[in-house]
């Protein structure tokens, strides 16, 4: 089933069940007031939500038109957002950045950072930046939402903890990355609010596109009208979601509703922008710039500026959007 949260004037919005084709929704308000509430009582709520989802998909109930502009992030705020680094290709490409570590990449355990989870951006919310020169970048990622995970969970436990799957844009202010990392306390100012696709879905909804703890879908990113990338999230994911969850639980338990990101989706290739319609490309701008430096001696793809739009969705072979689209404009903070 597919779940979304509609704007309601309340911070946690109103939980709805969305049809498989993302065209219609039915309220879940009588089952659980919010997605976090449903996750808190998943054993009770999931079967009822699923029954309504089946009725909606079988047109036994009509539902209402689902308008992504009315959606908040599926979890408008969460108790935990951890971003992993599943794709070594991404790390390889960004490590040349000033301020990033030159030490040998960890290939035994995935890197991860604790992200802010107090106010996520909705799928079509503006990316508001306080200054014009922060080298705004997007990062297209796949995410999972977990149940409670005990400290030192096994990889098998971790795999079974996956409740929901979605996509996010881990907005990054590249000019602040070096400061954050040199301070030694990790990402903070360089990682403002993250945005999420309109729906989170249960693993079964993906069929065989969810296997080996990976999402086997292309994650397609456009900047304005240009295709920037469409790597397959199931390829080159060195650390899968079970690895990421187990690593996150190495010294702590994880609360119900923890969101864990894959890291920027990246497949190995030697392309530069612009890519062909069947190219692979990039899920963030800094990777495209790194490749330009290598191939043509200088970075030429600009970071995002106010007025630029970024669009991210995950699609199957037929081009069907699985989680709906993130579609955001960069806007300068007005004083």
Q: Which residues bind a second copy (CB under 8 A)?
A: 10-11, 40, 77-80, 82, 85, 100-101, 103, 106, 111-119, 128-130, 134, 151-152, 173, 176, 180-190, 192-193, 248, 250-258, 333, 335
Q: How far apart are CA 152 and CA 219, in angstroms?
A: 31
Residues 6+ apart with CB under 8 A from 16: 3, 4, 5, 6, 25, 26, 27, 28, 66
Closest separation in Å from C-beta 331 to a second copy: 12
CB of 141 to a second copy, least distance (A): 15
Q: What's the min distance (Å) between Cβ of 302 and a second copy?
A: 20
Q: Give whichever of 113 and 299 is closer to a second copy, judged by the CB atom.
A: 113
Query: Which C-beta is closer to a second copy: that of 52 or that of 177?
Result: 177
Question: Helix H segments across 33-154?
Answer: 35-40, 42-57, 88-94
CA separation for the pair 298, 131 (Å, rounded):
25
* Rounded-to-integer distance, Cα 37 and Cα 13, Å: 11
**Phi and psi of 175, rounded to 5°?**
-65, -20
DSSP 8-class letter at 313: E
Candidates 246, 245, 250; CA nearest to 262 is 245
Measured from the CB atom, is 61 or 181 closer to a second copy?
Answer: 181
Nearer to a second copy, 130 or 274 (CB): 130
Q: Which of 101/320 has CB closer to a second copy? A: 101
Task: Give 244 or 326: the residue with its C-beta nearer to a second copy.
Answer: 244
- φ, ψ dihedrals at 142, nearest 5°: -100, 145
Kindly state the smallest distance separating residue 81's Cβ from a second copy, in Å: 9
Of 169, 199, 187, the C-alpha closest to 308 is 169
Structure tokens at 33: 């007031």
Please state the closest distance from residue 134 (CB atom) to a second copy, in A.
8
State the minimum distance, in angstroms, from the CB of residue 113 to a second copy. Answer: 4
Do residues 127 and 331 make contact, with C-beta atoms less than 8 angstroms apart?
A: yes
**Closest approach of Cβ 145 to a second copy, in Å?**
12
Q: Are 16 and 4 in contact (CB under 8 A)?
A: yes
Cβ atoms of residues 151 and 249 within 8 Å: yes
- Residue 94 in contact with residue 290, Cβ under 8 Å? yes
Closer by beta carbon to a second copy, 225 or else 251: 251
Cβ distance to a second copy smaller for residue 192 or 281: 192
Smallest distance from a second copy to CB 305, Å = 16
Relative to beta strand 112-115, strand 81-84 is antiparallel
């Amino acid at each position: 089933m597919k779940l979304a949260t509609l704007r309601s004037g309340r911070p946690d919005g109103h939980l709805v069940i969305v049809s498989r084709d993302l065209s219609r929704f039915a309220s879940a308000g009588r089952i659980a007031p919010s997605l976090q509430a449903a996750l808190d009582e998943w054993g009770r709520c999931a079967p009822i939500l699923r029954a309504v989802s089946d009725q909606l998909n079988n047109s036994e109930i009509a539902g209402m038109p689902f308008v992504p502009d009315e959606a908040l992030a599926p979890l408008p705020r969460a108790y935990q957002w951890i971003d992993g680094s599943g794709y070594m290709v991404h790390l390889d490409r960004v490590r040349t950045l000033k301020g990033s570590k030159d030490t040998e990449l960890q290939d035994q355990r995935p890197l991860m950072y604790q992200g802010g989870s107090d106010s996520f951006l909705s799928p079509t919310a503006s990316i508001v930046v306080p200054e014009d020169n922060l080298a705004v970048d997007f990062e297209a990622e796949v995410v999972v939402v977990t149940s409670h995970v005990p400290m030192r969970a096994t990889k098998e436990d971790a795999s079974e903890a996956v409740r929901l799957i979605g996509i996010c844009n881990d907005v990054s202010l590249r000019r602040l990355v070096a400061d954050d990392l040199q301070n030694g306390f990790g990402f903070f100012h360089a990682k403002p609010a993250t945005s999420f696709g309109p729906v989170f879905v249960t693993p079964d909804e993906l069929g065989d596109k969810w296997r080996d703890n990976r999402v086997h879908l292309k994650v397609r990113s456009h900047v304005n009208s240009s295709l920037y990338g469409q790597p397959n999230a199931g390829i080159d994911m060195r650390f899968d979601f079970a690895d990421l969850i187990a690593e996150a639980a190495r010294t702590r338990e994880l609360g119900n509703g923890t969101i864990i990101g894959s890291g920027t989706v990246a497949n190995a290739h030697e392309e530069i922008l612009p890519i062909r319609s069947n190219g692979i490309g990039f899920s963030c701008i800094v990777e495209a710039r790194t490749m330009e430096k290598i191939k043509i001696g200088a970075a030429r793809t600009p970071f995002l500026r106010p007025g630029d739009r970024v669009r991210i969705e995950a699609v199957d072979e037929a081009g069907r959007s699985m989680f709906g689209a993130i579609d955001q404009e960069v806007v300068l903070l007005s004083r």
